């Protein structure tokens, strides 16, 4: 019963096969391998972006930090949600990679609203050389609370950003999970909605460790390459990053896998909704949920070895009825039996 | 005929097997996986260093930059060879990770001498607050020119460094290739010789992409972890780094593989030595060699599709007899037939 | 009628005299001048801190950034008020000097409360290597809204910080203005209240451009010196910084000047309080005030050439009765006639 | 007898007068003062550069570091002499301000030659993404060894740089001292010779602490302003920087003062040349000289309280005849009697 994260499950068999397949003979190092040509083509086709520059790195934090650094001067500020991964979970990597840019927190929840964004951006207007200058807007899709921006919501944000000529980054660590919910095309969720650069996640959705950064305008491609190398994120045996991403894109594995993860989570949600006293902190939309149930249920889960984050409160405590929040994540690999067992344990 | 680098060959089968083996069920993320416990134990045992802190990253540049950053203030200077990887091949990553420390080039060749080092270190003494302060010494073993420091040479360098209380880093991208030549223990080539922190390479010697950083004094372990995360080098699915390094250490694969690479290179060297007009720029000791032979031979190799770096001069040129240098690297996987064919082509 | 800032008035005559006095013959450069010895002695005596390390720089941003950088690792976060100078008015200088540390905003107003601070500090506890680590707490006295922490309020904040072993910085750009209001000793407002390092302002209180950084524990003195030089803030002709600070401390000029500035502001406050429809946004305590009055009054001031910041709203607008906020700052040099004329213009 | 540096003498009376003159009433802060308008006009006129952007800072290291940072990406390298101030005397400030760029040392002496520069620049060509990219060339005039590039020598260097599209910085800490020797116009020694950005020194030539940065192409002006603020080098009471620079430019004070310094040094040189056993390490051209004379003479000087740097060797030592080098600097203020006394002491 592993609901702690979508980075704890196994790698998809098709990706393991692709790694084995790639492991033949010699290949050019540092991204000049032939498989990378396929990756580039597949991403350009999937995103209807024939000019896009595409790069691979091994961690989501690298993808985000390098994407931001390529679009942000050190005297600027990045606008993002206070619960964004770049703010809360990257140990100052964005500050490091941008050379000390600031992160300005927009609003007070998972999703930024256009009003919040406009207000935050406008505020920076008034300080001239004294305050940081306006830099990129970073949007997380799926958000860190499991919610999803609709296409209209995305466009409303990018419209504000574009008014001020700000570049827009999408942290798509769970890009596919959002896409299959929205039922739109990759282009619609990105450049057609005004996004300039995407961290396109693979690791959380069945890969071993690979993320693509897609720059729809290739003019910063060479700068990105240099920043990647300088950040020590250029792989010598790059073909093994390429092979993962290639297999991920082949036969829509990325979509199939995301659908499976979302379906697994839907099963979990359905089970939990049926239980009296379970409530959802954020309306579940993808494969991460936040829900509250009594300490006694948490203790049963804990005793049974279930792995997940107790998000608010502590397992230790006197009152068995006190509601504690759980953060539960389903990846593609979780099996129905584990889900059902988890639900049964909550029910008690 | 692929002699361009030891990062172009395939991953060793035992390591691919270990990845498949690791791909079962769930595992704690971010380095808390059980395989990592084995890795730590194996390295501590191999290095006779029960207190050592051990961390994995995916690239050699990350290993070097993080190792240096953990031992260098931004107002200090790193002492290194002018042909060191950290100076020539990391696109300012050490400067980036240290927050802008300088690299002071010691001597004029692949190996630093104690005299050169003392002279470079002493020079920094005279400028008070105006010059950078003395920071770590970084030694590369195998050097970037394929030569190897003897244990006495290593000790002579670390003795100078320790006189000035400077920490000492070993860039061991080809650690195993040197070790099997020296025929000493890992402890003898590191902490017993005065080394404080090692980049212990795996990628060039049969792994997919993994390097260990070993800190013999664990007091900077937590700082290292934070710098690794901030550098975006902490893998969520860390077990796949662990599995590689674990298999690499199992059954002395790392030593076997290095011996094979060196033996392959020895066959190449023997073949080349027998040819009139082939000379070696540096005395070959491990699995990288630099040798000079006529342009006409280079052209034959080129026409036959041989892959390697023409290190000085250009294939294009009128004089077929002009000597051009080649940099040739053998990994464990190169087969005898390719080596012999290469030699035959040089011979003409 | 210049109420825009306390950095727009002239330099005090005694300081100009000291500069002329210092301008004799030769002096050791880079802080080794004899006047600096006096400065160090005077500050140590004034602060009852015989071991303190004392350094001079020319700008408040340099003082703050270097003080913080000496007490903050790049993977840590500084805790400060959302309206602090280091957050709003230094164009990412603290981020730059710390190598990319984050600023965590505590509470929602000028003054941090111990509860806000504890809550912000505690929150960072939960993310392990993923979030930034807890770093220094920075307190501004006088705050950017013109209010003053009482000694008890200071101690309450430093008590929280010390529970977590965090170093504490005081941004004392208007140190003297606060001190004379509290009527305490410099020691009481600093190290006796738990402060570790102070930016001790001179520029806003009659100097030309000089701030002292006082480290009560001298163990980071050499690091500070190196960071100052590396930041390009070490003056060659340092005696002219020393001379300013020395004159500032002589005969309690710093206190006299601050009392005069506060008295000037008190006259302004008294005048404004007597006017119907003028309200104070923050309770005035020192020499900066924020008050609201009708647009029509602002327009009269503007037409008469009064210089100050319209803090909220815009001079342009239809409704003459709409209340717009003004930020008004008095330095020691403002004359009574200008103050009275300003008040009269507000009155209309 | 103060020959240690041109930063140890007094400030010129005309500059002190200008500070007093500027100390009237209120002035806009942060560079918006009226005197700065004069400064800008005077510099644009003097340099025949009506579009140039002009900024003031208080230290030469700030001028150099900010000038370089505005023309150098963090993944690039600056080309400079191994004895340049930016390399030897700024404690990694250029590395800090550029975000970790490297300094590549060109040649082995005070002056770079076009051949050395071409060779250093060309070398960087071969490493693709692995090595740092080519960045600005920084030329020091007067060099740190007291020599001066002729206009032809300058042009030969900038011609190489421009072939590779590299920006060119002139560290003119002693700009005026060189200009009066060459007898050319400021334009001829800068933009007409291919220079893009100049650190125009004031501090060493009679000012208290002010340097101008002149960007002949103003397109980076706003970036420069932001970097200056972020570096904590924007003065609030900026008028006192403006006043210094304005007085420095008025009535050709900068040229008069440099001529006087050079003349003072010429007197010293003449005296030393007449002494048997005194030799010059570099051919003297401006106001810094390096000469060798016996230890016994150094000891006489030392006993008489002469201040200067013993550049090679040590005062302590047995052999009174051993030649030790001295570095001697004359500013405008040194009087003839001190010079003659110094010479007499060398003579013995």
pLDDT tens track for A283-313: 999 999 999 999 999 999 999 999 999 998 8
- Write out pLDDT tens, residues B202-241: 999 999 999 999 999 999 999 999 999 999 999 999 999 9
Instruction: Check if the beta carbon of residue A287 is closer than 8 Å to that of residue A327.
Output: no
pLDDT of residue D288: 97
pLDDT of residue D313: 86
CATH of range C254-347; options 3.90.1150.10, 3.40.50.1950, 3.40.50.1700, 3.90.550.10? 3.90.1150.10
- Write out pLDDT tens, residues D225-236: 999 999 999 999
Residue B85 near chain D (CB below 8 Å): no
Residues lower than pLDDT 70 in chain C: 124-125
**In whole angstroms, what is the distance from residue D314 CA to residue C15 CA?**
41
**In whole angstroms, what is the distance from residue D200 CA to residue A243 CA?**
55
Cβ of D92 and B132 within 8 Å? yes
pLDDT of residue A313: 86
B288 φ, ψ to 5°?
Answer: -125, 135
Smallest CA-to-CA distance from B346 within B289, B266, B274 is with B274
pLDDT of residue D125: 64
Beta bridge partners of C236: none
Tens digits of pLDDT across chain D (348 residues): 899 988 899 999 999 999 999 999 999 999 999 999 999 999 999 999 999 999 999 999 999 999 999 999 999 999 999 999 999 999 999 999 999 999 999 999 999 999 999 999 998 667 899 999 999 999 999 999 999 999 999 999 999 999 999 999 999 999 999 999 999 999 999 999 999 999 999 999 999 999 999 999 999 999 999 999 999 999 999 999 999 999 999 999 999 999 999 999 999 999 999 999 899 999 999 999 999 999 999 999 999 999 999 998 888 888 999 999 999 999 999 999 999 999 999 998
Q: HSE on the CB side for B273, CA within 13 Å?
A: 10
- Write out pLDDT tens, residues D14-44: 999 999 999 999 999 999 999 999 999 999 9
pLDDT for residue A229 is more than 80: yes
Q: Chains that contact B by 3+ CB pairs under 8 Å?
A: A, C, D
- Write out pLDDT tens, residues C201-225: 999 999 999 999 999 999 999 999 9
- Give percent helix, percent strand, percent coil of chain C, each to the nearest 5: 45, 15, 40
Determine the average pLDDT of the residues in A195-205.
Answer: 98
Residue D25's Cβ-count burial label (10 Å; 0-12, 13-18, 19+) is: exposed
pLDDT for residue A86 is more than 80: yes
Cβ of D30 and A73 within 8 Å? no
The tokens for B14 are 């035992």
pLDDT of residue A145: 97
Preceding peptide of B348 cis, ω within 30° = no
Instruction: Name the B residues in 197-236 with CB < 8 Å from any C CB.
Output: 223, 225-227, 229-230, 234
- Write out pLDDT tens, residues A157-166: 999 999 999 9
CA torsion angle for B137, B138, B143, B149 (degrees, to 10)?
A: 50
Residue C32 near chain B (CB below 8 Å): no
Give one DSSP letter per residue of B147-160, joined into a string. ----HHHHHHHHHH
Instruction: Check if the beta carbon of residue D133 is closer than 8 Å to that of residue D73.
Output: yes
Smallest CA-to-CA distance from B84 within B63, B58, B112, B56 is with B112
**In whole angstroms, what is the distance from residue A135 CA to residue A99 CA?**
13
Return mean pLDDT, chain A.
96
Q: Chains that contact D by 3+ CB pairs under 8 Å?
A: A, B, C
**In whole angstroms, what is the distance from residue A37 CA to residue C322 CA?**
63
pTM summary value: 0.97
Report the SS3 class of residue C309.
Answer: strand
pLDDT of residue B214: 98
Q: D90: nearest CA in chain B? A: B130
| Count of Cβ atoms closer than 10 Å to residue D115 Cβ | 12
Q: A230: nearest CA in chain B? A: B93
Cβ of A226 and D75 within 8 Å? yes
Question: Residue A127 — very low, low, confident or very high, per pLDDT cuts 50/70/90?
Answer: confident
| Chain-centre distance for alpha carbon B56 | 15
Residue B173 near chain D (CB below 8 Å): no
pLDDT of residue B313: 86
pLDDT of residue D1: 87
Q: Cβ contacts of residue B116 below 8 Å, gap of 6+?
A: B106, B107
Q: Decide if C13-251 and C254-347 have a common fold.
A: no
Smallest CA-to-CA distance from D195 within D204, D203, D205, D185 is with D185
Preceding peptide of B142 cis, ω within 30° = yes
Residue C85 near chain D (CB below 8 Å): no
Between the two ends of chain A, the Cα-to-Cα distance in Å is: 16
Cβ of D231 and C96 within 8 Å? yes
- CATH classification of B13-251 is 3.90.550.10, yes or no? no
CA distance A223 to chain C (A): 20
For residue A178, the surrounding DSSP H or E stretch is helix A175-182
**In whole angstroms, what is the distance from residue C133 CA to residue C118 CA?**
14
Residue ranges of domains in chain D = 13-251, 254-347
pLDDT of residue C125: 64
Q: Chains that contact A by 3+ CB pairs under 8 Å?
A: B, C, D
Tens digits of pLDDT across chain B (348 residues): 899 988 999 999 999 999 999 999 999 999 999 999 999 999 999 999 999 999 999 999 999 999 999 999 999 999 999 999 999 999 999 999 999 999 999 999 999 999 999 999 998 667 899 999 999 999 999 999 999 999 999 999 999 999 999 999 999 999 999 999 999 999 999 999 999 999 999 999 999 999 999 999 999 999 999 999 999 999 999 999 999 999 999 999 999 999 999 999 999 999 999 999 899 999 999 999 999 999 999 999 999 999 999 998 888 888 999 999 999 999 999 999 999 999 999 998
The tokens for B306 are 């041989």
Cβ of A234 and D129 within 8 Å? yes
Cβ of D232 and C62 within 8 Å? yes
pLDDT of residue B127: 84
Residue D126 near chain B (CB below 8 Å): no
């Amino acid at each position: 019963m592993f609901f702690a994260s979508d980075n704890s499950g196994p790698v998809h068999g098709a990706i393991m096969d692709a790694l084995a397949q790639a492991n033949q003979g010699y290949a050019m190092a540092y991204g000049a391998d032939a498989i990378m040509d396929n990756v580039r083509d597949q991403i350009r086709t999937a995103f209807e972006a024939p000019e896009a520059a595409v790069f691979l790195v091994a961690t989501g934090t690298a993808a985000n930090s390098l994407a931001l650094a390529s679009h942000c001067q050190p005297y600027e500020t990045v606008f993002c949600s206070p619960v964004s991964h770049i703010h809360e979970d990257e140990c100052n990597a964005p500050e490091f990679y941008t050379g000390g840019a600031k992160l300005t927190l927009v609003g007070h929840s998972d999703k930024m609203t256009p009003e919040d964004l406009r207000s935050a951006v406008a505020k920076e207007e008034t300080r001239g050389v004294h305050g940081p200058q306006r830099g990129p807007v970073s949007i997380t899709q799926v958000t860190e609370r499991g919610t999803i921006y609709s296409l209209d919501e995305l466009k409303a944000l990018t419209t504000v950003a574009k008014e001020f000529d700000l570049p827009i980054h999408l942290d798509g660590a769970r890009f596919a999970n959002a896409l299959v919910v929205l039922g739109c095309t990759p282009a619609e969720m990105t450049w057609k909605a005004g996004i300039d650069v995407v961290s396109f996640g693979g690791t959380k959705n069945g890969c071993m460790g690979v993320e693509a950064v897609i720059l729809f305008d290739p003019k910063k491609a060479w700068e990105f390459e240099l920043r990647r190398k300088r950040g020590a994120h250029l792989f010598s045996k790059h073909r093994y990053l390429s092979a993962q991403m290639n297999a991920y894109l082949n036969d829509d594995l990325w979509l199939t896998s995301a659908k499976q993860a979302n379906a697994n989570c839907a099963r979990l949600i359905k089970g939990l909704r049926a239980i009296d006293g379970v409530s959802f902190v954020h309306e579940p939309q993808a494969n991460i949920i936040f829900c509250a149930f009594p300490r006694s249920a948490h203790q049963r889960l804990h005793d049974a070895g279930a792995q997940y984050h107790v998000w608010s409160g502590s397992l230790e405590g006197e009152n068995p009825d006190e509601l504690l929040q759980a953060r539960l994540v389903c990846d593609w690999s979780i099996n129905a039996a584990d889900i059902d067992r988890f639900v049964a344990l909550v029910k008690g």
